[in-house]
């Protein structure tokens, strides 16, 4: 199990808490989760715990055929739709599960400050 946290202090706290609780099968990464972890792909499942304006293509690319992703998608500061995406050989199936509110998917700032 891998988790990516963009806030460095939260990543450190999460890693410590998981270790303290005895979890040995979770790897906490600090960084921008938009691009996932291509070096560890493909994945059977991806769970996104922040609201995105749209589904990041890099995450779809990292799913195995038959893999599933749960992701909240919709406008910032609005109601988002929790989606269950299933990757098939030539398409992505999308099922709307329920309306939700999530913190926004935060991206790393570009080196130029943009």
Domain carrying residue 12: 1-31
Look at residue 61 and tell me whether its pLDDT is greater than 90: yes
Look at residue 113 and tell me whether its pLDDT is greater than 90: no
Distances (CA, A) of 38 to 6, 58, 94: 17, 8, 22
Identify whether residues 17 and 63 lie together within a single domain.
no
Domain assignment present for residue 73? The answer is: yes
Take residue 64 and report the two structure tokens written for it.
């195995």
Domain assignment present for residue 112? The answer is: no
Q: What percent of the chain has pLDDT over 70?
A: 94
Identify whether residues 75 and 44 lie together within a single domain.
yes
Dump pLDDT digits (tens) for 81-108: 999 999 999 999 999 999 999 998 887 6
Q: What is the largest CA-CA distance in the chain?
A: 43
Identify whether residues 90 and 45 lie together within a single domain.
yes
Identify whether residues 48 and 91 lie together within a single domain.
yes
Confidence of residue 110 (pLDDT cuts 50, 70, 90): low
> How many domains is the chain built from?
2
Identify whether residues 96 and 75 lie together within a single domain.
yes
Domain assignment present for residue 114? The answer is: no
């Amino acid at each position: 199990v891998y988790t990516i946290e963009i806030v460095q202090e939260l990543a450190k706290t999460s890693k410590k808490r998981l270790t303290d609780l005895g979890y040995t099968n979770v790897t906490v990464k600090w960084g921008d989760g938009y691009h996932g972890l291509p070096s560890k792909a493909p994945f059977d499942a991806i769970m996104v715990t922040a609201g995105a304006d749209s589904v990041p293509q890099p995450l779809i690319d990292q799913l195995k055929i038959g893999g599933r992703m749960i992701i909240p998608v919709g406008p910032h500061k609005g109601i988002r739709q929790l989606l269950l995406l299933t990757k098939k050989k030539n398409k992505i199936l999308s099922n709307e599960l329920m309306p939700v509110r999530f913190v926004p998917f935060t991206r790393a700032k570009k080196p130029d400050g943009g």
